[in-house]
């Protein structure tokens, strides 16, 4: 009994961190939540952003910004692809300001510089951790 009482808080804390989903469980962001950078152009590159599964912020969308322009509203276990011009793009996550509940009122700003060349695909991952909150970081496909 005593060991259960010791282990339970550790299990609860571990449950707050996100985890990468199996590819068959990851769904594309619906078209109505893809807001920019969807049309391929000559010499364009792609940035693919996956959001992990997890409890923290699970009922809320997170806004993805490309060059500080809102490009999508992404939910847990979703993936979005953006067509961008070559060069260094600034990709960030912020609260979903289109949501007028508590989800849209938080404070969140994480950004990463992503260098892309024509025809190249860069992958990013949105994670949530019990200590650091949300983050966006480079990912391997």
Question: To which CATH superfamily is domain 15-140 assigned?
Answer: Carboxypeptidase-like, regulatory domain (2.60.40.1120)
The pLDDT value recorded for residue 133 is 86
Instruction: Kindly give the confidence (pLDDT) of every residue in the chain, 141 residues in length, as a single tens digit, with 9 standing for 90 and above.
Output: 444 434 434 334 444 578 777 788 899 999 999 999 999 989 999 999 999 998 776 778 999 999 999 999 999 999 999 999 999 999 999 999 998 877 788 788 999 999 999 999 999 999 988 877 899 999 987
> For residue 138, how many other CB atoms are within 10 A of its CB?
11
Under 8 Å between Cβ of 113 and 40:
no
Q: What is the 3-state secondary structure (H, E, C) of 29-40?
A: CCHHHECCCCCC
Q: What are phi and psi of 5, to 5 degrees?
A: -65, -30
The pLDDT value recorded for residue 71 is 98
pTM of the model: 0.84
The number of CA neighbours under 13 Å toward the Cβ of 107 is 1
Supply 107's token pair: 């404070």
The kind and range of the H/E element at 71 are strand 69-74
Domain residue limits, the chain: 15-140
């Amino acid at each position: 009994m005593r060991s259960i009482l010791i282990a339970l808080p550790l299990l609860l804390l571990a449950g707050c961190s996100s985890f990468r989903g199996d590819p068959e469980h990851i769904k594309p962001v619906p078209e109505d939540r893809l807001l920019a950078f969807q049309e391929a152009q000559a010499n364009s590159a792609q940035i693919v952003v996956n959001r992990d599964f997890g409890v923290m912020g699970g009922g809320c969308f997170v806004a993805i910004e490309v060059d500080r322009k809102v490009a999508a509203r992404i939910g847990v276990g979703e993936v979005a692809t953006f067509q961008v011009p070559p060069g260094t793009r600034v990709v960030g996550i912020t609260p979903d300001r289109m949501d007028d509940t508590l989800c849209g009122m938080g404070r969140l700003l994480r950004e990463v510089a992503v260098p892309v060349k024509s025809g190249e695909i860069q992958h990013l991952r949105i994670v949530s951790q019990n200590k650091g909150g949300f983050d966006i970081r480079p990912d391997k496909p």
